[in-house]
Structure formats: C-alpha cells, structure tokens
Structure 1
Amino acid sequence: MSKPTVRPSRPFFSSGPCAKRPGWSLSGLDQALLGRSHRAPEGRARLREVITRSKDVLGIPSDWRVGIVPASDTGAVEMILWALAGERGIDVLSFESFSGTWAQDLRDVLKIEDLRVLDAPYGELPDLTKVDWTRDVILTWNGTTSGVCIPDASAIPAEHEGLVICDATSAAFAMDLPWDRLDIVTWSWQKALGGEAAHGMVALSPRAAARLAQPSPRPLPKIFRLANKKGLIEAIFEGDTINTPSMLCVEDALDGLRWAEQIGGLPALKARSQQNLAAVTKWIATADWVSFLSAKEETRSSTSICLKITAPWFESLSAEAKGKAVKHLTGLVAKEGAGYDLASYRDAPAGLRIWGGATVETADIEALLPWLDWAHEQTRAEFSA
C-alpha cells in the first residue's frame, strides 16, 4: 500500500506520561509558584485547589479525604499496602503487569500469609464471582498494560466487611468509579489529564480513614506515613504534603483540571475517551492483521487500548522475533512523525498500545491508523523475506 499523507496534528499516544490537553502550552504555567515554599500559605492553597478540583471533577463524596502523595500512583498504592496489609485476609486481582506487582509485593515482600491471588492472563479478567468481600480486596479498575477494565460495579457488594482498595490510575477522569462501593482509590496526574509524573493521589472513605488511623502492622518509612501516634494526619488532606512537591507540576495539574471543568467535567472526558475507542473499533472491523487484546467488548478499555497482531506471518515468529517486529513497525511510524510510543508494555504480549484518554483528539487517532496499516505491510515484507 502507498504511504499515507495525513499525519496526526499531535502524534502523542504514550500511556504515561500521556498527551497534554488540546491547546496546552508552557504559557499556561506562567503563574506557577516557583521559588516559594509549598508550605507557604500560597503554596498550600495551590495544593488544596488540586485536591478540591479533583474531588469536584471526579464526583468524590464530600466525606472522603483526598491527599497528594509521593511517587505517582505506584507510591500511592504501595503506601496503602504497607500501611494496611495483614490485618485481615487479602484477595488481590492480578491480570496485568501492575496488578501482578501488587500481588508479588504482598506475597514476596510483605509476606502476607492469608493471601489469595485471583489471576488471569493478559486480555482477560479474573472470575469476580470468586472474590471474598469479607476480606480486604485489591483491584485495578483498568489494566493499563492489558487494555482490560472492570465493566461495572455490579460485582462489588455495596456492603462489605473488608476494604476495597482500587488502583484507578488509568481509569480516573475517563471512567465511572463507584465511590459508594470502594474504600481507597489511587491515581496519578500523568494519565488521563496529561499531567507531569512523580505525584500520586489517594482518596479515603471514612471506613478507610478509620483503619489507617490505627497503628500499622509494620514500621513505615516517612513517605508512607498517613498517620502518627495521634491518628490520621489530617493536614495531608488539606494540602500539607508529606514531602516537597514540584510546584511546576502542581500548576500543570491545575491546568488540566480547569480544562476538564471547561469542557463539561467527567461526562465530557468519558465521551471523548469513548469516541477514541470507537475510532479504533471501526478500524479493527476492517483490518485483517490486528484485533483487541481483550476478546470481550464489555471489558475493553477506552484509555489504554491494547492490540494484538493476528496476521499469520506474525504468529509464526518466535517470541523474540515478535518483539523485534513490533519494534520495527512502531519505529517506522515514529520515524515518519505519525505516532510515538505505540509498542505494548515490556511485560505484556508483543503488540500495540494506543492511549485513548480524553486529552487525545479522535482526529489524531483516525490519522494514525492508516500509518499502522502501512507500517504493518512494510514489516510483513521485512520479516517474511
């Protein structure tokens, strides 16, 4: 096939850090509180604004606490695991790279004895009917590296004895989260709002806050401490961060939140992401070499859109050769300036991953897809020779 002539206006499809919002420029950060302390009244006000705007956009209940924590979503999840794991039995859903990491840490690092790992291969969800909701449950709402998401809240009982701890980093600001059925939710700025890395956020229900106020089962490093001898450190949930945040990143997070509000909040963000998934779905219906990694339509992610190459020439390759073929294919697209960071995650099956969050324009995805077809033909010829 001939080389396409139309390129995406913004060829940025990385799943983290993700594309900036449409119209973003450095001038939007001109008011960043640089050279000032984050503990000054103005610094705390900026941090508190991130918290309040996040609660408003996401529809977090008023009695929940929300705080900014170190080390992105990974840090947020780890601090919760270290602070809580072991008080009661734990069920953890493991179906992609990061949820697999939470399971491994609980088993091999924290050495939780009463642990059940409910796993599934890439492209599938574990059997949710086997979850014991009397235990603490750790789940990832959207598998960033597998393109599989929990379809709805029906599997989670409204009343449950344990805490439901939800890693929502690639779901927040793009999908509905059932706040009435969750207890702890974590995310980062670098995903669906296109913010900068290294900062995480954690939201606590009243039940979770009460648990965290109790002594931890183990000693905690400073950056993991949400509580002290007096109980929960309430100042953290008013913008008094554990460690020093980047005020430049804070300003960028505020820029993304204000944009989300301007376009219509969470409903508009969800609609934009769904339109991106629809564009890929329409293309796959006519493509004869690629399909979704998730076979079930109801579990397909609209943000981390993960694809597998199904062409016979590709399937005949060894695992090592498949990796090289994907690198070649995505390299061709990148060399043409038509799309960057399109290979699947390093631990996932060799394939493609297109970020479809709300900061990505559907027109850019539509412009990308013919380039993938072209690059596939070039790669097939190279690897079939």
Structure 2
Amino acid sequence: MSAIPMPAVRPANPRFSSGPCTKRPGWSPEALGDALLGRSHRSKEGKSKLAEAIALTREVLEVPLTHRIAIVPASDTGAVEMALWSLLGERGVDMLAWESFGKGWVTDVAKQLKLADVRVFEAPYGELPDLGLADFDRDVVFTWNGTTSGVRVPDGGFIPENRDGLTICDATSAAFAQTLDYDKLDVVTFSWQKVLGGEGAHGILILSPRAVERLETYAPPWPLPKIFRLTKNGKLIEGIFSGATINTPSMLCVEDYLDALSWAKSQGGLSALTSRADGNFAVLRDFVEQTPWLDFLAEVPETRSNTSVCLKITDPHVAALGGDEQAAFAKSMVSALEKAGAALDIGAYRDAPPGLRIWTGATVEQADIEALLPWLQWAFETALQDLEAAA
C-alpha cells in the first residue's frame, strides 16, 4: 500500500496550540530588549512598566474607566480563584458549566468553598446549558468561551441590566478576540498566554464598581491567603490596580505582554483583533463544511468559538470504533502532523471528546490556516489507510 502524498506547502508557523498560544507575527526575543531585569518591580521604573500594562489593557480591550484592572498571580486560574474566594458566599450562586474549566469552578465552589446554596446548570461538550435558568439576583459564574469545547455564549443578552447578584466571567480565550459586555460583567478574568500569545503565570482581574462594593461590604467567613487579599480594613487596596502587584511578577513576562499589547494597538485594537480571529475561523469553517469526515463539536453555529475551534471526526469508519480507538485515531493524525512539521499541539483537550482543537486567534496568520487544510486531509487519509490495513 503506497503512502499518501504529502502536500507541497507547510504552514510557515505550525503553532496552533490553544495555550500557550503562538506569539504575535514577527516576534523574536529581541522584542524583550527593554525588559527591566535584575530590578525591583517596586522601583519607579518597575511600577511604571506595570502601570503601562494596565493602561494598555484598558485601551485595547476598551474597558470602561469605571472598572479597575489588576495584574495577579497564577494566570487565569489565579484570577478566577481570587474572585471566587473573595466575593462568593454573600448570597446563593448559580454555576454554568459546559466544559472542563467551567466544571472545575463548580468543584471549587461546591466542594472546596462548600457553599450551602449552589445551583449547577451543566451541558455536555458541544452544547450550552439553558442560560435562561440562571437567576441573576444570585451570583452567577460562567465561562464566556469554553476553551476545551469550542462553545461560547453568543453575546451578553442573557444577562439582565438590572440584577442584584454579581456576574463572574472567565474570559480567558475570549478577551482580545470577542466583544465582552462590561456593563453586564462584574468580574472578568483572562491570562496573557491566550489570544495575545503572551507568556504564562500571570492573570488579569477586572472589577466593576458593583464588585468593588461587594469586596468592601462583605467579608467571607473563611481565611484568605495573602495572594487573594484585595482589601485591607474593609477598603480596596487601590495600589493593586495601579501596578503594585500582590506578589513578584516576572518583568520579562511583563515586557512580553507590553510588546503584545503594542502590536495589538498597531493592528487597530480590539476590532482588528476580532476581525483577524473571525477571518481565521471563517477559513476553517468553510473547510469543515466541505469536508464529509469532519464537523464542529459545537452544535449551534452561533455558539462556535472563533479562537479555540474544537472538531470531531465523523467518518463512519471512525465513528464505528470504540471510544479508545477513536481517541487513538485522532492521536495518530496529531502525531503525523507534528512529525511532518505541519501542525503542533492540535489534539483535543484531555477531558474532551476525541478530535482536534485548532487555535485561530488573532496572532495566527490566515495564510497558515489555509496552508494547514491540505495537511488535515493528508493526515486523515493516512490514518484511515493505516486503520484499514490493520483491520
């Protein structure tokens, strides 16, 4: 049996990982030449760098002046945990979950914080729960874009203008690629390593005035670690939101984030970044719609992510296999693509259904998505040939 011929052209940049994501086009280590290394982050220069990162975040993301922005430790996970442990418990909470990270927040609230009044609305991979079931007079926790399922909320229309509870939104693979409704979001979190391709270990926490009011009027009954503490003597620690970070940040990572933000601004800001992601997704969408062996994991078109695109293999020969065999088939495609240098890190998330996950965020070039498509076909045909030969 002869080998399937390889396509002639590889993507110039085969990095399609959903996190950490590829660096901005044209990035090189020289971009970090002005990093404040060997200096205190609390020096005048260090604080200036951190304040600039916060200011550029506000400008590029179009965050209202009423909202506060902080750089916090431990990536998006740290930012979400800080919000959950600092804000919840004052009233009942509704949890919306439809993929791995959203379900992780359910575990934290129900089993770690052990709140008495928790309602959970879950949906399987590929679907959204009924968003209309959430009661916004309670606190509501949800993920805007499910990185491991490729399912996002279409917009903020399900959140009422007038509500008594807080909305806590994990937006880590949505920020810089999708339009977030800050008037309806009281807490927004994300990490640098996603849409802008920054380095890991740092997160962003954005608080509305309503969230600040909760922090200053409610003290949770459990002890808070130092890295979670946002108030002192019942008042917000304002310095955290002007660059005086709770713990020591990597100034090399800060420099990289500043570089990414400057690139984002040079591209035209949020609208341009969203257009880049939308354009990348459109190329992949057209291929999927014309390819009989492939489909989106997200069932409803309006809920399909334009960044973390999750795909399932629907060929009848593969669909007839058991779950482990389906996973092995997808892994064989991923392995072949990596070995050929055509695509790196595009396997489905470990807890998700077997398939592929291709990042199409703003730092990915459309030409690389276009070059990837023949390679997907090649990898499928190669894996299918191997399957038939083993039968």
TM > 0.5 fold call: yes
User: Where in structure 2 are there 5+ consecutive unaligned residues?
Assistant: none
CA contact (8 A) 1:32 1:247 kept: yes
- Equivalent of 2:229 in 216, 225, 231: 225
1:84 paired with 2:87, answer: yes
Aligned length in residues? 385
1:216 paired with 2:220, answer: yes
- Equivalent of 1:369 in 368, 373, 376: 373
* Matched AA of 2:171: A
Deviations 1:106-153 (A, max 9, x none): 111111110000100001111011110100000100000000010011
- 2:203 alignment partner, SS class: strand
Cα distance in 2 for residues equivalent to 1:93 and 1:145: 15
- Structure 1 position 299, deviation (Å): 0.4
Structure 1 equivalent of residue 110 of structure 2: 107
1:156 paired with 2:162, answer: no
* Matched AA of 2:243: G
Deviations 1:280-329 (A, max 9, x none): 11101211111000111100000000001101111112211222211111
Matches within 5 A, 1:230-249: 230-249=234-253
1:27 paired with 2:40, answer: no
CA contact (8 A) 2:309 2:357 kept: yes
* Matched AA of 2:39: R
- Equivalent of 2:122 in 105, 113, 119: 119
Cα distance in 2 for residues equivalent to 1:159 and 1:203: 20
Deviations 1:250-280 (A, max 9, x none): 0000000000000100000000000011001
Cα distance in 2 for residues equivalent to 1:309 and 1:130: 32
1:145 paired with 2:148, answer: yes
Per mean C-alpha deviation after superposition, the further-off stretch among 81-90 and 234-243 is: 81-90
Structure 1 equivalent of residue 96 of structure 2: 93
1:128 paired with 2:146, answer: no
- Structure 1 position 372, deviation (Å): 0.9
Structure 1 equivalent of residue 329 of structure 2: 325
1:51 paired with 2:49, answer: no
Deviations 1:237-258 (A, max 9, x none): 0100011000000000000000
Per mean C-alpha deviation after superposition, the further-off stretch among 318-327 and 290-299 is: 318-327
- Equivalent of 1:312 in 311, 316, 326: 316
Structure 2 equivalent of residue 281 of structure 1: 285
Per mean C-alpha deviation after superposition, the further-off stretch among 348-357 and 80-89 is: 80-89
Q: State the 4+ residue runs in structure 1 displaced beyond 4 angstroms.
A: none
CA contact (8 A) 1:68 1:202 kept: yes
CA contact (8 A) 1:84 1:217 kept: no
Structure 2 equivalent of residue 173 of structure 1: 176
Cα distance in 1 for residues equivalent to 2:233 and 2:317: 62
* Matched AA of 1:81: L
Deviations 1:162-210 (A, max 9, x none): 0000000000000000011110100010000000000000000011011
Cα distance in 1 for residues equivalent to 2:237 and 2:318: 54
CA contact (8 A) 1:83 1:217 kept: no
Cα distance in 2 for residues equivalent to 1:383 and 1:104: 39
- Equivalent of 1:207 in 205, 210, 218: 210
- Equivalent of 1:64 in 67, 92, 97: 67
Cα distance in 2 for residues equivalent to 1:216 and 1:109: 14
CA contact (8 A) 1:151 1:298 kept: yes
Deviations 1:335-359 (A, max 9, x none): 0100000001000001000001000
1:7 paired with 2:10, answer: yes
- 2:114 alignment partner, SS class: coil
User: Where in structure 1 are there 5+ consecutive unaligned residues?
Assistant: none
Cα distance in 1 for residues equivalent to 2:180 and 2:25: 24
- 2:361 alignment partner, SS class: coil
Cα distance in 1 for residues equivalent to 2:255 and 2:226: 25
- Structure 1 position 383, deviation (Å): 2.2
Cα distance in 2 for residues equivalent to 1:19 and 1:143: 19
1:380 paired with 2:384, answer: yes
- 2:183 alignment partner, SS class: helix
- Equivalent of 1:36 in 39, 50, 62: 39
CA contact (8 A) 2:89 2:220 kept: no
- Structure 1 position 2, deviation (Å): 2.5
* Matched AA of 1:298: E
CA contact (8 A) 1:141 1:166 kept: yes
Percentage of matched positions with identical amino acids: 57
* Matched AA of 1:168: A
* Matched AA of 1:301: S
Structure 2 equivalent of residue 185 of structure 1: 188
CA contact (8 A) 2:154 2:303 kept: yes
Cα distance in 2 for residues equivalent to 1:64 and 1:286: 44
Cα distance in 1 for residues equivalent to 2:320 and 2:241: 54
Cα distance in 1 for residues equivalent to 2:266 and 2:365: 16
- Structure 1 position 230, deviation (Å): 4.3
CA contact (8 A) 2:15 2:345 kept: yes
CA contact (8 A) 1:333 1:339 kept: yes
CA contact (8 A) 2:215 2:231 kept: yes
